[in-house]
Amino acid sequence: MKLVAKKDVVHVLEAWSKDYSILAPSLRENGDCVFDAFDASMFTIEYRKPPMPPKSSYLPQNESIFSVENGTFTPVIHHEKTMLFGIRACDLTGIRQARSFYSRDVDDVYHRSHAEDTLIVVHACSWPQNETCFCTTVHSGPYAQEGFDIQLFDMGTDFLVESGSDAGRFLITQEPFRDFDVDDAAERLSRVKHMAHNSIPIVAEVVDAMEVLKGAGANEGVWEHFGRKCITCGGCVYVCPTCTCFNVVDRVTAEGSGERMRTWDTCLYAGFTREASGHNPRPSQASRLKRRHEHKLVHFNPVDNQGALCGCVGCGRCSDYCPVHIGTLEVVKAIADHIY
C-alpha cells in the first residue's frame, strides 16, 4: 500500500494527463461541482456526489457507431485513453453491471472498446455523501472490492492508495507516492473501512420491497400513485448508473450517406415499448414505472449484479433529483410499508 499527500494529487493528475484524457471533479466559479475534463485550476478533492454517474464514458449520450459514405459502410470505434478520477464505489458497481450486461450474451464492441481504454480511480467514501446514500444496503460501497485500478482512502492529510490492477500499480510506483510501511497498515485500512461502512445506514425497506416483489408483487395502487404524478421527464433514467438502454437512429447527411447513432433512451417513455401496430404492452405511466422499478429490484439477471444485491447500486440520485419524489427510496418505502 502507498500514501500520497492530498495536496499533491493535482500534480499527479497534471502528470497523468499527458497520457490520459482525465475526467475529474471540477469546481465551477458559481460553486457547482461536476465531473469534467481535468483542469488544474478548477480541480477539487472536496466534492460530494456528482449529479451524473460516469456511464457516459462507456455509453455516450449520443454515439456514432457506423458511417456510410456513398453506400460504403465503416464501423466507428472510438479509442481514447481515459481516466475516471475520483468516482465512487457505487458508480463503479454501476459500470461493472453495465459491462457485464454489454458482454454477457453479445460482445458490444463499442462498450468494450471504451472499457478497454478506461482506467478507474475510485475515491472510497468515508461517510455518506448525503442522506439518500444506501450503498451498504445493496452492497455496492462505500469502497470498492474489485474492478478498480486505483482506490483512494481518506486518511486526513493523505490518501491511502490501494492498487487493483497492474496498470494501477505501475502508476503509483513513483513520487509523490510513498510506501505505507507501518506494521498495522492492514489494520488501519480495515478500521477506516469499518467506520465508513457503519456511517451509512441500512435501508431495510429495500430488502423488504424486494421480497414483496418476488412474492405477490406490490399493490397496483403503488404504481398508480406514482404513475399519476410522474411528469415523464426521464431524469431518473439519466442519472441512474445502471440505466443503459439506447435507441438507434440514422442521420442521413446525403443520398446514400449518413451515420448510425445510438442515443440514450428510457423505458418511461411510451414509445419505448409501443409496437408497430400502435399497441403498447406498457400502456400507462403506472405500468412503465412498475417495469422500471421491478427491473432494478426483482427482474435482473443475477450474473450482472457483480457482487451487489440487485440492479440498483444505491447511489440515491433518483431520490435526489426526481422533481415529484419517485426515487427508489420512495418507491421501496411505499411497497414495503404497503402505503397505497
Partner 1 sequence: MTNSINEFDDADLFFVIGSNTTAQHPLIGSRIINAVENGAKLILFDPREIPLAQFATLHFKQNLGTDVAVLNGIMNIIIQEDLCDRLYVESRTEGFEDLKKLVTRYTPKAVEQITGIRASELYRAAVMYAQADKAMIVYAMGITQHITGTDNVKTLANLAMLTGHVGRPSTGVNPLRGQNNVQGACDMGGLPGVFTGYQRVNDPATVKKFEDAWGVTELNTKPGLTITGMINAAHQGSLKAIYVMGENPLTSDPDITHVEHALSNLEFLVVQDIFLSETASLADVVLPAASFAEKEGTYVNTERRVQLARAAVPPPGLARPDWVIIAELCGRLGLAADYGGPAEVLKEINALTPSYKGITHARLSSGHGLQWPCPNENHPGTEYLHREQFTKGKGSFLPCDFKPAAETPDDEYDFILTTGRVYYHFHTGTMTRRIDILEREAPEPLVEINPEDAKKLGIRNSDTVELESRRGSIRLKAEVTPRVPKRVLFTTFHFREAPVNRLTNSAFDPVAEIPEYKVCAARIRRCP
Residues that bind partner 1 (CB under 8 A): 29-31, 228-229, 231-233, 247, 249, 263, 265, 269-271, 278, 323-325
DSSP for 22-82, please give it: EEEEEE-TTS-EEEEE--TTTB-S-----SS-GGGGTS-SEEEEEEEETTEEEE------E
Q: Which residues are CB-contacts of 49 (< 8 A; sequence separation ≥ 6)?
A: 88, 129, 130, 133, 315, 316, 317, 320
CB of 276 to partner 1, least distance (A): 12
CB of 238 to partner 1, least distance (A): 12
> Radius of gyration (Cα) for the chain, nearest Å?
21
> Can you name the residues that pair with 178 across neighbouring β-strands?
3
Q: Which is nearer to partner 1, 42 or 233 (CB)?
A: 233
Q: Which is nearer to partner 1, 108 or 265 (CB)?
A: 265
CB of 31 to partner 1, least distance (A): 8
Q: Which is nearer to partner 1, 61 or 301 (CB)?
A: 61
CB of 274 to partner 1, least distance (A): 8
- What is the amino acid identity at position 12? V
* First-residue to last-residue Cα distance in the chain: 51
Q: Which is nearer to partner 1, 16 or 269 (CB)?
A: 269
Task: Read off the C-alpha cell for 98.
Answer: 453495465
Q: Which is nearer to partner 1, 74 or 247 (CB)?
A: 247
CB of 260 to partner 1, least distance (A): 12
CB of 236 to partner 1, least distance (A): 13
**Helix, strand, coil percent content, the chain, rounded in steps of 5:** 35, 20, 45
What CA–CA distances, in Å, run from 275 to 6, 152, 278, 286?
54, 48, 5, 18
Q: Which is nearer to partner 1, 103 or 284 (CB)?
A: 284
